[in-house]
């Protein structure tokens, strides 16, 4: 009963937010924003890897907004080019097209995964077509698919291609003490 | 003895230079990484919230609102009409965020809508004091404060849990200064 009441309240809040946004957009120029409380800041690459079940080199594809349980997310289709962690599983899909990629919990990573970003989160949105090194972990949301992941630390686990396809730049400006630049070799 | 014009001009320049230097030093003495603001705020110093959370979160929410009200010029009150910050708690999974505040504000930077989401995936296992620090942080965003990287583990640091684990259980001077700057 309590969960039904909670769901109704959540729906009520979302409906009000939608009405407010629509009115605001119709009547005047509005801005929207979001900020959050990071559960943890990472003091090293080892800590970031330690919270991840898989690290991939991948490109971002299409995104869709969806509701899963109590959370509204932007779900990105991510094309895995190479799995960099756990050790020993790293291989290019070209080299091993039928390879069954799995993370450290045994979850299937596959050659395409879904990566969630919470709607309204302060983490910068991924860009379609761009290459990233992504540190991932299962969403742990009831009802989520087995191939759906969150980015570790919201933003901490995003490294974007610096332009030359060999070095990846840390996106986080939250104060994480992880390396500013990574290469594939950094994770071997 | 009166100095020749070129020497007087030099003295003037030196004086002006010293004044500029003094101004630069005075400005640089201001903490560069103290509180920052989001650009949105309430229309007045009275801010309304609706506490739609279950126990024990409802207690943490009330305590956090009281903490801001008693330490700063802002006055958090519960309400259901007008612009209201809605506080809910749910299982949003391993998103990396213990709490999230989202808002819409108009051209003047005045809030039109606010939602605070507390992530039970992380917070269910926290004690009451840690829950309160995280909720205080979200209420800080709901006031218009952004993250602060000032030293001393303020509530408005990027990770309030990290501040709590380093001894923070109440608002710090930088948090209070930020709120009082806005209201």
A3 band by pLDDT with thresholds 50, 70 and 90: low
d(CA A7, CA A5): 5
For chain A, what percent of residues have pLDDT higher than 90?
57
Q: What is the mean pLDDT of residues A152-171?
A: 95
Q: What is the pLDDT of residues A64-111, one digit of tens each?
A: 999 999 999 999 999 999 888 886 444 444 444 445 677 888 777 778
* Confidence at residue A93, expressed as pLDDT on a 0 to 100 scale: 42
The shortest C-alpha distance from B34 to chain A (Å) reads 14
CA within 13 Å, CB half, B165: 9
- Among B38, B107, B137, select the one facing A28 at the smallest CB separation: B107
Work out the mean pLDDT of chain A and round it to a whole number: 84
* Confidence at residue B90, expressed as pLDDT on a 0 to 100 scale: 97
Contact indicator for A81, A127 with CB cutoff of 8 Å: no
CB contact under 8 Å between B159 and A152, yes or no, is no
Please give the CATH number for the structural domain made up of B46-178. 3.40.390.10
A77: phi then psi, degrees, rounded to nearest 5: -80, 120
Domain A45-187, CATH class in plain words: mainly beta
Q: Which residues of B touch A121 (CB under 8 A)?
A: 95, 97, 100
d(CA B57, CA B88): 9
Q: What is the mean pLDDT of residues A152-174?
A: 95
* Look-up of token digits 């989202």: B102
Q: Which residues of A touch B103 (CB under 8 A)?
A: 32-34
Q: How far apart are the first and last CA of chain B?
A: 55
Q: Where are the domains of chain A?
A: 1-32, 45-187
With b meaning 16 or more CB within 10 Å and e meaning fewer, what string describes B51-80? bbbeeebeebbbebbebbbebbebbbeeee
Please choose, from the candidates A42, A55, A78, A41, the residue with its C-alpha nearest in 3D space to the C-alpha of residue A185. A55
* Look-up of token digits 């080019």: A81
CB atoms under 10 Å from CB of A134, counted, come to 26
* Confidence at residue A104, expressed as pLDDT on a 0 to 100 scale: 80
CB contact under 8 Å between B112 and A144, yes or no, is no
Provide the ipTM.
Answer: 0.81
Residue A13 tokens read as: 């809040």
A29 band by pLDDT with thresholds 50, 70 and 90: confident
In a 3-state reduction of DSSP, which class is residue A108? strand
Nearest CA in chain B to A43: B162
Say whether pLDDT at A128 is over 80: yes
Say whether pLDDT at B143 is over 50: yes
The shortest C-alpha distance from B149 to chain A (Å) reads 8
Residue B29: CB partners within 8 Å, gap ≥ 6? none
Contact indicator for B90, A111 with CB cutoff of 8 Å: no
A58 band by pLDDT with thresholds 50, 70 and 90: very high
Among B56, B80, B97, the strongest candidate for a mutation testing the A interface, having the largest count of A CBs within 10 A, is B97
Q: Where are the domains of chain B?
A: 46-178
- In the sheet with B111-119, reading across from the earlier edge strand, the strands are A31-38, B97-105, B111-119, B85-90, B46-51, B75-78
Burial of A72 (0-12, 13-18, 19+ CB in 10 A): middle
Please choose, from the candidates A181, A185, A184, the residue with its C-alpha nearest in 3D space to the C-alpha of residue A171. A181
Q: How far apart are the first and last CA of chain A?
A: 50
* Confidence at residue A12, expressed as pLDDT on a 0 to 100 scale: 62
The shortest C-alpha distance from A33 to chain B (Å) reads 5
The shortest C-alpha distance from B171 to chain A (Å) reads 15
């Amino acid at each position: 009963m309590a969960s039904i009441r909670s769901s109704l309240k959540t729906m009520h809040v979302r409906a009000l937010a939608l009405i407010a946004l629509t009115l605001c957009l119709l009547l005047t120029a509005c801005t929207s924003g979001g900020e959050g409380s990071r559960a943890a800041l990472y003091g090293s690459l080892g800590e970031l890897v330690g919270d991840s079940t898989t690290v991939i080199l991948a490109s971002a594809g299409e995104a869709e907004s969806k509701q899963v349980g109590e959370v509204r997310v932007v779900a990105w289709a991510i094309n895995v080019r190479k799995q960099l962690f756990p050790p020993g599983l790293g291989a290019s899909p070209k080299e091993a097209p039928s390879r069954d990629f799995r993370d450290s919990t045994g979850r299937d990573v596959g050659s395409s995964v879904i990566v969630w970003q919470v709607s309204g989160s302060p983490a910068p949105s991924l860009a379609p077509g761009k290459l990233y090194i992504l540190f991932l972990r299962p969403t742990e949301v009831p009802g989520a698919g087995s191939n759906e992941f969150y980015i570790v630390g919201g933003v901490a686990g995003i490294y974007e291609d610096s332009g030359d396809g060999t070095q990846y730049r840390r996106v986080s400006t939250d104060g994480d003490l992880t390396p500013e630049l990574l290469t594939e070799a950094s994770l071997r | 003895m009166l100095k020749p014009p070129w020497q007087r001009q030099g003295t003037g320049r030196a004086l002006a230079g010293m004044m500029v230097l003094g101004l630069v030093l005075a400005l640089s003495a201001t903490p560069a990484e103290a509180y920052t603001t989001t650009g949105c705020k309430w229309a007045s110093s009275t801010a309304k919230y609706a506490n739609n959370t279950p126990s024990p979160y409802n207690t943490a929410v009330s305590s956090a609102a009281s903490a801001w009200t008693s330490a700063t010029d802002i006055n958090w009150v519960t309400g259901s009409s007008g612009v209201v910050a809605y506080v809910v708690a749910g299982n949003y999974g391993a998103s990396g965020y213990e709490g999230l505040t989202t808002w819409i504000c108009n051209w003047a930077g005045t809030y039109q809508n606010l939602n605070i989401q507390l992530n039970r995936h992380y917070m269910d296992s926290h004690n009451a004091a840690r829950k309160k620090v995280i909720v205080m942080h979200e209420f800080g965003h709901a006031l218009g404060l952004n993250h602060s990287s000032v030293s001393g583990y303020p509530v408005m640091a990027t990770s309030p849990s990290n501040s709590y684990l380093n001894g923070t259980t109440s608002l710090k001077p930088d948090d209070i200064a930020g709120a009082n700057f806005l209201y």
